[in-house]
Amino acid sequence: KQWYQRRVRGRSVIQLYKELQFMGREYPAGAEYFHSKCKAAFLKNKDETDPEKIKMLIDRGRFVQKEIEALYGLRKYRAMKQRYYDKEDMDRHSKIIESFVKQL
């Protein structure tokens, strides 16, 4: 049973890594920057053997994944807003969005 748990954790770590690498292709600071930071974070924890710590690290990775998704959603929203709103509306909405992002 223990080998099975290790195998499942290993698969979830690999799956998380692949998903983050895929998401990093459109990262605002550049794909290379994201890929190098992501790889360094995974390599830093590659020798971890404690199941609780591994679970905590996977959960943190899922949190980062959700934050990146939110960042991409916000970027798409801003692009649409620039296309369809006039300048005064954009300034007013930008202030509201910036205050919301600061709270995150």
pLDDT of residue 46: 86
61 in Cβ contact with 20 (< 8 Å): yes
Residue 40's SS3 state is helix
pLDDT of residue 3: 54
For 6-30, write each residue's pLDDT tens digit. 665 668 888 999 999 998 888 888 8
Distances (CA, A) of 56 to 60, 62, 77, 80: 6, 10, 32, 36
* b/e sequence 74-103, b meaning 16+ C-beta within 10 Å: eeeeeeeeeeeeeeeeeeeeeeeeeeeeee
pLDDT of residue 51: 83
